[in-house]
Structure 1
Amino acid sequence: MFFNGERVRLRKMSTEDVSTYHQWRNDIEVMQFTNPSLDVFTYADTENFIKNITESTNSKSYMIEEIETQQPIGVTSLINVDYGNRNAECIIDIGDKDYWSKGFGREAFQLLLDFAFNEMNLHKVYLRVFSFNERAIRLYQRLGFYGEGELKEQFYRNGSWHNVVLMGLMKRDYIDANK
């Protein structure tokens, strides 16, 4: 299954993505924005992680590929999908640092949101973002996400405590913003 944008496509994540994802998952510069523990993972850990998410009934995970090169550049997912209440948590990681701050993440996330609201008919998506990840917070706000609260001093990194910002987006607000 593919979702195509102008420069990126989303394709279903598979066990063939273990090597690429393992590389990103162990890059401290990449994970500093998404992983509060900054653990180092073994290849077997990553294999099990991908096996679990690809076989899960309450998540949808996609590799982000640049269309021109067909190169994987990141991953985006809907996790903790609650079909009864029509909501899910969403995540995005651009693992290839050459693609940071160039609009690829925005395009990929927009494809995921289009799928969540238009195909899955979700009522709401939400996310968690580290308070120091200002680039991501700005992106989420431009896409229509609003703050719902903060988990104060949720994790310790580089000598200080950091908050986790909770953000949400309702289908009606997303549709209105993208007319």
Structure 2
Amino acid sequence: MSSDSIKFLEGKRVYLRPIENEDLDFFYKKALWDEEGRRLTGTQAVFSRVGVQNWFERISTDSSRVDLILCLQDSDRPIGDLAMLEIDHQNRKAVVRVSIFDRDYWGKGYGSEGMSLVLEYGFGILNLNRVGLDVFAFNERAIASYKKLGFQQEGRIREDLFYDGEYHDSILMGVMKDEFRKVE
């Protein structure tokens, strides 16, 4: 992306911008087929390029969600995505998810910084009171990141995912507006 990219939400090291049609090849090649990324997200589906295009067209007009690309400030390089889903203005709640596609950027705090920006937006602009997520119990790095932001475990769904011949629990986590801790 060029330096005139839209920077919807900006942090010190990362920024978030809307997903554009030009990003779909990035999604298709980087996000959907990385073996470890698929394991961490429990992805078992088979995707086609046309299917990705159809997904993009469907989400582009869905007002109950905000889908964003996570980019590095210093190079505009896209390294992942974040989404705020199931935005419910009446009950002031939503669900979030984050994925860093490029393993070179795992464990360096980029996902936490991006998630912090999305939570600030959700609590400060959308006036949400609660944001939730679920994460598989084996994804300890993500759980630690979420706890840094103020998320607390609210429940556990036993044997929620069957992947590679094994069952895995899903951990339900949530953060209230007054529990959120900004990460930079």
TM-score norm. by structure 2 comes to: 0.91
CA displacement 1:138-172 (0-9 Å, x = unmatched) = 10011100011011101112232101110000001
Kindly indicate whether residue 151 of structure 2 is the aligned counterpart of residue 145 of structure 1: yes
| Contact in 1 for aligned 2:79/2:105 (Cα 8 Å) | yes
Sequence identity (%)? 34
* 8 Å Cα contact 1:4-1:10 kept in structure 2: yes
The answer to whether the aligner puts 1:135 opposite 2:135 as a matched pair is no
Between 91-100 and 47-56, the greater mean CA deviation after superposition: 47-56
Pick one of 98, 112, 123 that aligns with 2:129: 123
Q: Write out aligned runs for 1:10-159 (5 A).
A: 10-23=16-29, 24-34=31-41, 36-159=42-165
Contact 2:70–2:79 (Cα < 8 Å) also in 1: yes
SS for the counterpart of 1:32 is: helix
- Give, in whole Å, the separation in 2 of the partners of 1:71 and 1:17: 11
Counterpart Cα distance in 1 of 2:177 and 2:114: 17
- Which amino acid is 1:41 matched to? F
Gaps of at least 5 residues in structure 1 are none
RMSD: 1.2
Quick one: which of 9, 12, 16 aligns to 1:6? 12
Deviation per residue, 1:50-108 (Å, 9 max, x gap): 22222211000110000111010000010011111110000000011111011111111
- Output the amino acid matched with 1:29: E
Instruction: Count residues in correspondence.
Output: 175
Secondary structure of 1:149's match? strand
Report the Cα distance in structure 1 between the residues aligned to 2:173 and 2:13, rounded to whole angstroms: 26
Shift of 1:40: 2.4
Aligned-partner Cα distance in 1 for 2:155–2:46? 30
> What are the superposed Cα offsets for residues 30-64 of structure 1, whole Å, 9 maximum, x if unpaired?
12111x34222100111111222222110001100
Say whether the 8 Å CA contact 1:126–1:166 is kept in structure 2: yes
Match of 2:3 in 1: none
Conserved 8 A contact 1:14-1:54 = no
Please tell me whether the aligned partners of residues 134 and 173 of structure 2 are also in contact (alpha carbons under 8 angstroms): yes
Contact residue 39 and residue 163 of structure 2 kept, 8 A: no
